[in-house]
Amino acid sequence: MSDLNTVTAAEAPGGQPNVPHGPVKKDKPRSLAGDAWADLRKRKIFWIAVVLVAVVLVMAAWPTLFTSADPGACALANQYKGATGGALFGFDYQGCDIYAKVIYGARNSITVGVLATLLAGVIGLIFGLSAGYFGGLVDAILSRFIDIMLGVPFLLAGIVLSNRLSSDPKSNGIFAVTLTLGLLSWTTGARVMRSAVISAKNQDYVAAARMLGSPPARLIFRHILPNSIASFIVLLTLLLGINIASEATLSFLGVGLKNGAISWGIMIADGTQFARTEPWPLVWPAIFLGATVLAFIMLGDAVRDAFDPKLR
Amino acid sequence: MFRYIVRRLLQMVLTFFGATFLLYALVFANQKDPIQALVGERPVTESQRIALTQRYHLDEGFFMQYWYYMKGLLTGDFGTSLTGRKIVDMMADAWPVTLRLALIAIVIAATFSVTVGVYSALKRGGLFDNVSLVITLVLLAMPIVVIAPLFQLIFGIQLGWFPPTATRDATVWQLLLPAIVLACIVIAPEMRVTRTSVVENLRADYVRTARAKGLTRMRVIWVHVLRNSLIPVVTLIGVDLGGLMAGAIVTEHVFNIPGVGFNLARAIRTEDGPLVVGFVSILVILFLFINLLVDLLYAALDPRIRYE
Amino acid sequence: MDVLPGVDARAPLLEVNDLHVEFRTGYGVAKAVNGANFWLSPGETLAILGESGCGKSVTAQAIMGILDTPPGYVTQGQIRYRGVDLLKLPEDQRRKVRANKIAMIFQDALSALNPVYTVGFQLGELFRKHRGMSRADARKRAIDLLDQVKIPAAKVRVNDYPHQFSGGMRQRVMIAMALALDPEVLIADEPTTALDVTVQAQIMGLLADLQRQRNMGLILITHDMGVVADVADRISVMYAGKVVEEAPVYDIYARPAHPYTRALLESIPRLDMKGQQLSVIRGLPPALTDIPKGCAFNPRCAYARDACRQDPPPPAYQVSVQPHRTARCHFFREVLGE
């Protein structure tokens, strides 16, 4: 933060050999986004992530494409029965079709994850832009507030807040968890946006635009936002993965989704209890949750690497 | 330097009160029946009601209640849990267990991530480097609710290499598998930072100078590359301690370890307000002090950084 | 100091012969040095002059043996120190040549000095590792050295970190470090480029003094013709990885024999030409992945003819322009104005 006084090293090339660092082609100048896309297209990890994300999204939107079974139809007679025709993964302790439940679990995960991330994105964008653009007192207050938020470990705050928000004993907890994650996870985005705006504000071209009489709103939207929005969107992709994981964690601890709402987190919690007798009711939802989070993190990671040539 | 520390301490005080107030408000504000919430499921008599109202200042404003609570907290009186036990006693039982767990986890994570990260950087682009990059990516993405139960299932139950759950005394042997699980959540970022930092430093001009001085390759790497590369890693390990405390909630729950996370998870499920606020307040203080220590450590390790 | 096997005291101090260096990157092979030739005698200052990208720094790194491999490889040629080909030495002996026999000063002292160690540590390290001295003795020698490069209050400053020095003082530390083990050859890679003009003169003066006292051979790598005129005895002009002209400094300024040298000289602003248009060299240096056929300079050369586009000029040392002069140009007589 502003407390660090680092003496930055001069960026002289020193003894670097004078070799062109890229292909010397005479084609038209490419934009950063164009370069990033050209780089992304060549990455295997990016395509694996895209395919995984697409599958999960389709699963969330049209679960009936994957299974015709009703995840709520459980019969104790089926307890721990092995795989049969439709029920590929067998049945759990309560005799529910594990495959159907896992498929339907994607919907809640994605809904909570996407909505919470959008909420966090909006809050982060507004707070970050204002803190960075106005500076001074606004920045001081917002920065202190973020410090306070970061003073409590994320998961702890999430547990307390989610528990408090879902005090209605009949609710399924989806609203409470979404709100909790949205309200707690915007801080990183706000910080990224704030520092991006501050560094953009000090650029010569922004100073020049201001001297030419460009109004503040135009400055923000024409000059500052386009230069910092890429990293912000990448951050949101990563955050989406983290929020899906957090939903599962809260549900796992009993303060997330509840009252019959299907969640991979609850399935893992139930599966853990009886893992000694039958491991599969634990293993399948764990694999699906892991793969989904991994897909979003890989996607965000690949896009970030592509947009940040320094990290290549 | 002195002025910097004083300023940081003042900021910490502000953050501490801000965070605990938010927490206190979340747990206690606008409860339908605060007295019932304080005793849990048991029925309450009228005389108990009067005693509790007096004890918790429920007839006064919310801010006053917070004020009285903080006064108690700062004089070492954390109040009583719904279970009837003194919260101070419960902390005295729980904290050593969690600290031991976190410490083992940090040692495992640091040893592993620094060794692998440095080796990857030295052999960058090779098979080892690529494999470890893929593994870090997977580790980075795995939520602890996936790792903890799966590791317990595979290494504790199926293979039987480690005890799958801990007993009351939580020996080092029993804590080993949970510590590995905890380490998993911090290994990936630590390894990535180590690798990036070493790769960057290997290209640095002063490393070229060190080679021009006719030093051996070992000396160049150990003295001139590693010393500089490990500065960000050391600070990251410090910051991770806070993350480990949070990760301990799930891990201790899964492995049945009677530590802070275990108590907290139970307290939240049983809506044991005083216990939650007490434990989290201490966590917040710990968190803040670790952050300050990390910043000071940073200055101690890197002479270019001065605080004013 | 242990003696290198095969050292011949009568052989030239340093001789670079037909040196080729290439960088193998994912985008292709960049030929950074394509047959560099020069020699150096004790007490002499040889300036290697050229634009950025002409291979002068790479040549220096190849002599030191500190090329980054991969991507950089020496593919051909010899680098002889007193008759011993350094490229054929095992790494352990090569390492001992560095700093003991041949030392180097880098352009940007701030990034070339390790930020987390005191200058005392970085100077003392040389004595401790090469001479086996104790920490205390090494520290004394470090203070001596700082005195020799005229750093005030050396006893105190020996405990300072690089970032606590000014640019000029930092370059003095760099010089002290290079001279610590009394090398016979000193390579200075753009030693004053990062400094203010007034400080530049002080540093060059200090280098010249120290060189005279120690009778060192100095290779001065620069693109600054002004610096060269002041201190150099001979000049090697490099273009696209080749030495295109080599001559005593006076001759080159008076009568350049290569069109490139001539163009460089004409592009220096001069007081007596005030008001006239400054001539520039048209075009850009070639990309090292795609060096033109024939003479590398032909696309930019005012004298270029078909021969220049077909055949490379004969290797230097065969065209004897005047005694002690070489130029790689088919039409050097024309350039000289004969």
Digit-coded pLDDT (tens) for A39-60: 777 778 888 888 988 988 888 8
- Architecture of the domain made up of A52-311: Orthogonal Bundle (1.10)
Whether residues B70 and B189 share a domain: the answer is no
Q: Has residue C155 been placed in a domain? A: no
Distance from CA of C290 to the nearest CA of B (A): 26
Q: How confident is the model at residue C86 (pLDDT cuts 50, 70, 90)?
A: confident
Q: Residue range C259-271: average pLDDT?
A: 78
Distance from CA of B20 to the nearest CA of A (A): 9
Mean pLDDT, rounded, of chain B: 83
Mean pLDDT, rounded, of chain C: 83
Q: In the prediction, which pLDDT does A21 show?
A: 44
Q: How confident is the model at residue A123 (pLDDT cuts 50, 70, 90)?
A: very high
Let me know: does C113 contact B209? Beta carbons within 8 Å.
yes
Question: pLDDT of C222-248, one tens digit each?
Answer: 887 777 877 888 888 888 888 888 888
Q: In the prediction, which pLDDT does C318 show?
A: 52
| CA distances to B122, B166, C71 from B171, in Å | 38, 8, 52
Q: Which of C298, C321, C315, C193 is nearest to C247 (CA)?
A: C321
Q: Has residue B185 been placed in a domain? A: yes
Q: Residue range C109-135: average pLDDT?
A: 88
Q: How confident is the model at residue B31 (pLDDT cuts 50, 70, 90)?
A: low
Q: Which chains border A (3 or more CB–CB pairs < 8 Å)?
A: B, C
**Least confident piece of the model among A179-193, A219-233, B161-175, B253-267:** A219-233
Q: Has residue C264 been placed in a domain? A: yes
Distance from CA of B290 to the nearest CA of C (A): 24
| Interface contact C113-B206, CB threshold 8 A | yes
Whether residues B119 and B250 share a domain: the answer is yes
Domain count, chain B: 2
- pLDDT of B33 > 70? The answer is no
Contacts of B142 in chain A (CB under 8 A): 290, 293-294
Task: Give me the percent of chain B exceeding a pLDDT of 90.
Answer: 5
How far apart are the two ends of chain A, measured CA to CA in Å? 26
Q: In the prediction, which pLDDT does A182 show?
A: 92
Question: CB within 8 A of B82, min separation 6: which ones?
Answer: B38, B39, B40, B270, B271, B272, B273, B274, B275
Host domain of residue B16: 2-74
Q: Would you state the torsion angle of the CA atoms of residues A146, A152, A158, A163, taken in this order, to the nearest 10 degrees?
A: -120
Domain residue extents for chain A: 52-311
For residue A148, give the nearest of B19, B247, B306 by CB distance.
B19
DSSP string, C173-207: HHHHHHHTT--SEEEEESTTTTS-HHHHHHHHHHH
Q: In the prediction, which pLDDT does C2 show?
A: 56
Q: Give the Cα separation of B195 and C231 in Å (integer).
A: 45
Q: B151 is written with which tokens?
A: 């590791």
Distance from CA of A271 to the nearest CA of C (A): 50
| Interface contact B11-A147, CB threshold 8 A | yes
Q: How confident is the model at residue A79 (pLDDT cuts 50, 70, 90)?
A: low
Is the pLDDT higher at B264 or at A31? B264
Whether residues B132 and B183 share a domain: the answer is yes
Is the pLDDT higher at A92 or at B85? B85
Q: In the prediction, which pLDDT does A117 show?
A: 94
Is the pLDDT higher at C225 or at C180? C180
Domain count, chain C: 1
- pLDDT of A2 > 60? The answer is no
Host domain of residue C333: 233-268+280-338
**Least confident piece of the model among A198-207, A261-270, B118-127, C134-143:** A198-207
Instruction: Give the Cβ contact number of residue A277 at 10 Å.
Output: 9
Q: Has residue B88 been placed in a domain? A: no
Task: Give me the percent of chain A exceeding a pLDDT of 70.
Answer: 78
Whether residues B224 and B275 share a domain: the answer is yes
Collapse the DSSP code of A6 into the 3-class scheme (helix H, G, I; strand E, B; otherwise coil) and give the result: strand
Q: Has residue B86 been placed in a domain? A: no
Q: Residue range A5-13: average pLDDT?
A: 33
Q: How confident is the model at residue B78 (pLDDT cuts 50, 70, 90)?
A: confident
Whether residues B50 and B193 share a domain: the answer is no
Q: Give the Cα separation of B131 and B112 in Å (integer).
A: 15
Instruction: Give the Cβ contact number of residue C5 at 10 Å.
Output: 8
- pLDDT of A122 > 90? The answer is yes
Q: In the prediction, which pLDDT does A23 show?
A: 44
Q: At what angle do helices A225-252 and B144-151 cross, to 10 degrees?
A: 40
CA-based nearest residue in chain B for residue A45: B134
Q: A238 is written with which tokens?
A: 């990563």
Whether residues B151 and B278 share a domain: the answer is yes
> Residue type at A28?
K
Q: In the prediction, which pLDDT does C92 show?
A: 85
Q: A78 is written with which tokens?
A: 């089926």
Q: Give the Cα separation of C233 and C248 in Å (integer).
A: 6
Q: In the prediction, which pLDDT does A15 show?
A: 36
Q: Give the Cα separation of A74 and A94 in Å (integer).
A: 7
- pLDDT of A282 > 90? The answer is no
**Least confident piece of the model among A247-251, B98-102, B304-308, C126-130:** B304-308
For residue B304, give the nearest of C64, C99, C163 by CB distance.
C163
Question: pLDDT of C193-225, one tens digit each?
Answer: 777 888 888 888 888 888 888 889 899 998 877
Q: Which chains border C (3 or more CB–CB pairs < 8 Å)?
A: A, B
Q: Residue range C254-276: average pLDDT?
A: 77
- pLDDT of A22 > 60? The answer is no
For residue C108, give the nearest of A14, A19, A24 by CB distance.
A14
